[in-house]
Chain A
Amino acid sequence: MLSYALRRLLGLVPVLMAVVLLTFATNHMTPGDPVGTMLGDQSANVVLAAKLRAEYGLDQPLWTQFTGYVYGLAVGDFGLSYRFVGVKVTDVIWDGLKISPVLALAGTAVAVPLGLIVGVFAALRRNTLADTGVILALTAGISVPNFAMAAYLVYLFSIQLAVLPVAGWGTFSQAILPVGILAIAPAAYIARLSRTYMLEVLQQDYIRTARAKGLRERLVIYRHALRNTLVPLLTTIGIIFGGLLSGTFVIETVFNIPGLGRLAIQSIFARDYPVTMAIVLLFTGFYTLINLAVDLLYGIVDPRIRLGSR
C-alpha cells in the first residue's frame, strides 16, 4: 500500500509538468500583454514598457522564461505578481489558500449527509408520492445554476429579511449562504446516487438473508444496506470535494469571498500570469491528491480491492 502510494505520488510529477507547460503556453499565447495592462493609459510609453519588460524578465525568449519558471518552481519560488508591485506570488495566494479549502470542505460536509439522508429516504419510499417529490426537488437542485440561486437567496435572506450578511468571509453567518448554495447541487447528486445504490443493494441476497434471519428492518438498512451503499459513493465524494475546491469561482465572486477562485478570475483579467499559473498548478495538485486519497481509501473500506500489495 505504501509503495503504491509512493508510486502514485511519483506519477504526479509528469502530470504537474504537463500542466506547467500547458498553462505557461496558454498564458503566453492568449492575446494581450501584461505590460500593456500594467501601463494602462501609458501604453504608448515605450521607455516605461521596456523598463517593465526587463524588470519582469518578459524581454527574454519564451524558452528562457519557461526554464527560469520551472527552476523557480523546483525551489519553491513562484516569482513576483505582475499586478501587485513587488509582492511574491506565494504571498498573494496564501490568503486565498486559507479560505477555499475550508469552503470546499464545509460544502462537502453539508452535502454528503444531506444527500445521503434524502437519498435513503427516497429509496425506502420507492415509487410513492414522497419519492417522486424528492426526485423532482433534486432535479431542480441540480438544474438551477448556483449564481441564480445565490441572487435569489441573497435577495430573500439579506435584503428582504435582513438576517444574513450579503457578502464577505470570516464569520459564521457570512458562511451560511455560500456554503449552503455550494452544497445544493452536490447534495442533490449524492441523493440521486445513493437512492439508486440503495435500491440496488436492497435487491442483494445478503439483505434477503438478513431479513430472513429476522433482523429488525432498521438494522437491515443501517448496518447492511447503508454501509454497502457508501463504497461506490466514496469516489463521488472525492470528485465532489475536488470539484468544490476548484469550482468555487462563481460563489466566491458573488459572495465576495477572497478565496482562490475569485483571485484566479481577477488574475486572469489582469494578466497576472504568475498568480494564474500558480493557482492552476495548485488546483491540479489538489485534484490528483484527492483522487489518490480516494483510491487508497477504497482499499481500506473494501477489502476486496487490493492495491498493488500483491
Chain B
Amino acid sequence: MSYRGSWRGIGLAVGMLAAMATAAEAQPVFKTNIIADPAMVDPITYSEIIAGRVMDKVYEGFSANTAEGKIVPALATEWKANDNATVWRFTLRKGVKMHSGREFTAKDVKYTFEQLLTPGNKAGLNSAYLSSVAGAKDMKDGKATELAGFTAVDSHTIEVRFNEPEVLFPIYPFYLMDSGTVAESGADWATKVSAGTGPFKFNSWKRGVEVKIDAHKDYWGGAPTIGGVQFLIVPAADTALSMYEAGELHFALLADSLARRIITDPKYKDQVVQAARAQINYLGMNQNLYAPFKDKRVREAVSLALDRPAMMKGLWGGTALPLNGQVTPGVAGYNPGLPELKYDPERAKKLLAEAGYPGGKGLPPIEIVSTEPSKDELAYYANQFKRVLGWDVSVKIAERATHIRQMNAGEVAFFPWGWTAGYPDAMYYLSQVWYSKSPYNRSRWSNAEFDKVIDKARTVSNADERYKLYNEAEKILMAEWGTAPLPILSNIALRKPNVKNVTMTPFGYSDFNKITIN
C-alpha cells in the first residue's frame, strides 16, 4: 500500500469512528423509576433492594438466573464440587473486559472476597455468603489478612474450600469487583468510577435525583442495544405514574397501592407487565403460644376456611397470584404440581368438630397481628374465621420493627407474613422460614422429618437431585399443614408500547441488554 493509500485508509477509519460515535450518541437512554435513593452503589457495602436494582446491571457473580428461574453461567463458565461439597472449583470466563478495560481474572474474585471479610469495611449482604469458607472467620476477627480457603489455581481457575458442605455457593449473587479500582481511585471510588463486569457501567449518582449507568460496549455478552439507563428517584407513587403518562418514563415500577388501580384500568391493558414476586407468604401458627394449633386438624381447618380466589380479587384486585406451597415460581426448586388449596367451609367445620371444637366452641380467643398495610387482610381473616369456624379472632396492628422483633423472638401466636428470597433457590425459603433451628422460623413450626430432608439437601451439590429433596420437604410441610400458604403478590410495572424486550421478573427488572425503544 502506498503512503497516499494508507492516509486515505486512516481518513476512512477516522470517518467511520466518527460515524460510530454519532451512532452511539443516538442510542436512546432507557428511563425508569426507583422509589428511593440507593443506600450505596458500592458492591462491598451493598445491603438493600433498591441498590440491588441498579447494581444488578453493573456487577455480576459466578452465575445468573433467567426470568424463568434457571441458573446460567455468568463470570464462571463451569463449576464442580468434590463429593461432599466442601471444595468448589470454578473455571472463570475468559476474555471478560471489566469497565476499567482490564481483564477479569482470579485476582478479582480473591480481592472481592477479602474486601467482604475485612473488618471495618461495613460489608453488606454478600459477606454472609462467605461465612463457611475456610479462614473467613479469621479474616472477620482480624486474625488474617488473606482468605485461607481461596486458591487461584491459575489466572482463570479458582478453588474455594469450606468448613462444611456448601452446595449453593455457585448461585450466590456475588458482585465481583475489579481489584485495581481502589488503588487507582481511592476509598471513595464507588461514586466516581465503575468497577464491575456487567453490561452497564456506573456513570453518576445525583442524590435525590437520579442514578445513571452507561452501556458497556465491551460486555462479554455483547454490547447492550441502548446507550444507557437513567434511574429516576421518585418516592411518590402518583408522581411516578404522572411522569409515565407524560412520557418522562419508559418503564414505571408501580407501588402496590397504585398497582391495584392500574391493573383493572382498561386504558393500561396492553402496558401492564407482571411477575410473581420471589416472596412466599404464609399464616404463622405458633403451637407453643396457642395450644389448639398443636392439632393438625385445626391447622388444616384454618387453611380450608380461606377463600383464596376471593382474597386475590377483593384484597389485591388481581395483583396477587396463587401459592400452593412455600416455594414461589421463578425460584429453583419450585413445584408446579402441588394440589390447589381449596376453600371448603364444610370440611373445615367437620375437622374442627373432630378436634373437639364443634362450631368453634372451646377455642380460646386469639389475636391476629400484622403491620398497618395489612389491615384489610387482617379484617378479612378475623371475619372469615368467625363466620366459617365460629372462632373469635381479633385484629391487632403492630409497629413494624417491634412486630419483627416479637416474631423473631417467637412471641406472636398468629400472623400473616412473608419472606423474600435473597437468591433464586428454594433452600432460601425452606431452610430459613421452616427449618426448626432457623432464627427466622417465626412461627416455631418444628418437624424432625422436614429438618432431615433439608439437612440432606444441604449436602447435595447436584442441582436436580437437590430440587427433588426440596419438593419432598415442601410436601411434608404441606401434609402437616405447618402453615396456610397465602397468595403471593406480584411486581407490577407499566411499559410504553414503543419499548420492547424488558419486563419484570420475580427478582425485579429483567435484563436491559436487548431493550429497543422506537
Contacts and interface: CB of A to CB of B under 8 A. Distances in A.
B207 interface: yes
Given A42-B125, A95-B208, A265-B235, A31 B402 contact: yes
Interface in B388-410: 399-402, 404-405, 408
A169 B206 CA distance: 12
A309 interface: no
A162 B40 CA distance: 35
Which of B36, B242, B399, B439 has the largest count of A CB atoms less than 10 A from its CB?
B242
B40 A167 contact: no
A253 B236 contact: yes
Contact of B246 (A84, A162, A266): A162
Contacts of A42: 125, 128
A37 B400 CA distance: 9
Contact of B401 (A32, A159, A262, A265): A32
A263 interface: yes
A262 B208 contact: yes
A217 interface: no
A265 B208 CA distance: 12
A215 B39 CA distance: 67
B405 A85 contact: no
Nearest to A52: B122
Interface residues of A, number: 42
A36 interface: yes
Given A31-B401, A255-B239, A166 B408 contact: no
A165 B404 CA distance: 41
A159 B242 contact: yes
Contact of A36 (B48, B243, B404): B404
Contacts of B37: 83-84, 266
A205 interface: no
Contact of A85 (B40, B49, B209, B419): B40
B422 interface: yes
A158 B242 contact: yes
A41 B206 CA distance: 27
B241 to A, nearest CB: 9
Given A36-B401, A41-B420, A95 B207 contact: yes
B47 interface: yes
Contacts of B48: 40
B440 interface: yes
A166 B45 contact: no
B422 A41 contact: yes
B234 A167 contact: yes
B243 A32 contact: no
Interface in A139-186: 151, 154-155, 158-159, 162, 165-169
Contact of B39 (A31, A36, A83, A159): A83
Contacts of A96: 208
Nearest to A92: B207
A86 interface: yes
Contacts of B78: none
Interface in B244-301: 245-248
Given A55-B122, A151-B238, A258-B208, A84 B47 contact: no
A192 B80 CA distance: 79
Interface in B106-157: 122, 124-125, 128
B42 interface: yes
Nearest to B402: A31
A131 B248 CA distance: 42
A168 to B, nearest CB: 8
Contacts of A38: 47
A26 interface: no
Contacts of B36: 266, 270
Nearest to A155: B242
Contacts of B208: 95-96, 258, 262-263
A43 interface: yes
A159 B235 contact: no
A45 interface: yes
A96 B208 CA distance: 9
A158 B246 contact: yes
Contacts of A40: 47-49
Contact of B235 (A33, A158, A168, A266): A266
Given A33-B401, A38-B47, A253-B235, A84 B39 contact: yes
A136 interface: no
Contact of A166 (B39, B124, B246): B246
B interface, over-half SS = loop
A60 B382 CA distance: 42
Interface string A28-68: 00011100111011111110000000010000000000000
Interface in B198-241: 206-209, 232-236, 238-239
B235 A166 contact: no
A167 B405 contact: no
Interface string B29-50: 0000000110110100101110
Given A36-B404, A262-B235, A31 B207 contact: no
A256 interface: yes
Which of B42, B209, B402, B405 has the largest count of A CB atoms less than 10 A from its CB?
B209
A45 B122 CA distance: 15
A41 B419 contact: yes
A43 B47 CA distance: 12
A290 to B, nearest CB: 25
Contacts of A262: 208, 235
Given A85-B42, A159-B242, A166-B248, A256 B207 contact: no
A254 interface: yes
Contacts of B236: 253-254, 256
Contacts of A55: 122
A258 to B, nearest CB: 3
Contacts of B419: 41
A44 B440 contact: yes
B283 to A, nearest CB: 19
A84 B439 contact: no
Contact of B239 (A37, A83, A254): A254
A36 B408 CA distance: 12
Contacts of A83: 37, 39
Which of A41, A96, A155 has the largest count of B CB atoms less than 10 A from its CB?
A41
Contacts of A263: 208
Contacts of A256: 232-236, 239, 243
B399 A159 contact: no
B235 A167 contact: no
Interface string B51-68: 000000000000000000
Contacts of B401: 31-33, 36-37, 43
A107 to B, nearest CB: 19
29 contacts: A36-B404, A40-B49, A41-B420, A42-B128, A44-B408, A45-B439, A46-B439, A55-B122, A95-B207, A155-B242, A158-B245, A159-B245, A165-B246, A166-B239, A166-B245, A166-B246, A167-B248, A168-B248, A253-B236, A254-B236, A254-B238, A254-B239, A256-B236, A256-B243, A258-B207, A258-B209, A262-B208, A263-B208, A265-B235
Per CB-CB distance, the 3 closest pairs between chain A and chain B, nearest first, are A258-B208, A44-B439, A36-B401
Interface of B: 36-37, 39-40, 42, 45, 47-49, 122, 124-125, 128, 206-209, 232-236, 238-239, 242-243, 245-248, 399-402, 404-405, 408, 419-420, 422, 439-440
Given A32-B399, A167-B242, 5 more contacts: A42-B125, A43-B405, A96-B208, A253-B236, A263-B208
